[in-house]
Chain A
Amino acid sequence: MIALHLLTGLCVLAGLVFFAAGTLGLLRLPDPLTRLHALAKADNIGLGLIALGVLPQLVASGAVLAAAKVVAIWLLLQLSSGAVAQLLAEVAFRDSETGADDPDGAAAEAGEP
């Protein structure tokens, strides 16, 4: 039982670290493409770890259906954040390509989810 709690604690902690990294990337990195890169990667792994951490608790307490839902949520998020990141990247790329990049970086601002 203790091992279970230990595992959960560790995973959730690691997940939080990744989330922090993602947010740090969002604030510090210069242009939209790199920010997107940081956010998409870090948040996905972060969420995966937290889901991994929570799963044993749910399974142990018998709520198998809830566990399945958590996994489904994680899958949906993988899909949607990946697709959205792709879309934003296309917009950001096209703006930087056509120089429509407004001087005060409004496009960059728009890139922020």
Chain B
Amino acid sequence: MSGGALPGLPPADMLLVLAVILPLFGLLPLLLLGSRLAERLTLLVLAAGLAVALGIGAEVAAAGQAATAFIGGWRPPLGVGLRADGLSAVMLVMTAVVLCATGLYAMTGPATPRAAGERMPTAFWMLLLCVWSALNLVFVAEDLFTLYVALELLTFAAVPLVCLDGKEGQIEAALRYLVFALFGSVLYLLGTVLIYALYGTLDIILAARRASVSPGLVVALAAMTAGMMAKAALFPLHLWLPPAHSGAPPAASAMLSAVVIKAPIFLLVRFWLDLAPESLAVKVGPILAGLGAAAILMCSLVALAQHRLKLLIAYSTAAQIGYLFLMFPLAAAASAWSALAWTGGALHLASHAFSKAAMFMAAGLIAEAVGHDRIKGLTGLGRALPVSVAAFGLGGLSLMGLPPAGGFVAKVMLLSAAVHLGNWWIALVILIGGLLAGGYVLRVVVPALQRPAAPLALRPVAGWREWVALALALVAVGLGFVPLEPSAYLAIGRPASWAEGAP
């Protein structure tokens, strides 16, 4: 048992393992149940999982050090270790909240469209739990091969989600997503085998301790980073994201854009700040930031030119991912300001998750009510669907980086770090990104607030689903009240080591 367990809460290592296997416990019986029972069981598991995630967060805060667990009692390098430091705990809680909201949003209520048969709802609930288990594992696993299996579990759950409606365009998008993601994960595997060949261990922390700059490590990190960039759809590797995220059913695209896309990014942060030696991180930082900047500028411009609402939001995801890559050169430099950049990046990761999930849910409700996805036909919608447009607007507010949203605080933190570390072009890109985000958000919100030219014929939409979207948007706004200083919570468990806790 490691770390001082909070009274009343089960020990930290049990919670860690629970976070991974609880969704599996929920998933497996679903095969035997009908879709109504499946829904109820999933919502129950979602609630329990949220409690576990919050428990882990509390344990890490109370113990002031990372929570650790060893599978089967075997310590690395032989066994597999799970470890949740400050950042992992934040990611676990973020994922739990977003997926609970998605569950509520996708719940069949009086006004939700009747699913044609058992296939869609049952498959959706199973895939949701799989996504959750995989994400939790990605955030806590410290073993490179376990991370590979977790990433594959995530991809195999995300691909069917994309083509759940079964239309031809979506299946083509899902196929393209699957094969490109596989290309990425096999490159990651190539990196993993080289790391094992060099250091005889797959554990990130032990490998980091033995890591020294050598051709093998360089090729390994290059392959792993390229693989993760392919799975994170960083520009110019974003071919699969727009069709996949816009084609998926609304609840699924909310999940995909908000949390599934964050797993490979989290791993990149894990590699470049825990595993790789400082000298390599400084060399690679500019390349990652350069591609991130290209992503922000290019994908925002293309988002401005989109005619369909969901495609606009999907391109916005591709652009916002660019911000997260701007963090690497800032966080790699060993200075007080890099801690601020590190906090800004984590905050952007979280606030983008909440605001993007809210925007996709709102877009789904708007498409349901109006019957089409074209931006042109949305004039005057603000009066008909005020709550959905408000959710979309508040989410957009966070993307634009305007106070009082979380996106604003993250932008200020990254800007301050960029200014102090002298990366002027990063500061400029952040500002231009905010402008372009303003462009493509206001392009939808402003016509919605005007008076409709012709009265809109709307199909009824369940009120509580709109409030779920608005609640998520309000959480993104709530993140705006995070203090503008390096967060102590995120510093727990850094630099990573197994030393603390049980010897």
Indicate yes or no for A touching B, C-beta below 8 A. Answer: no
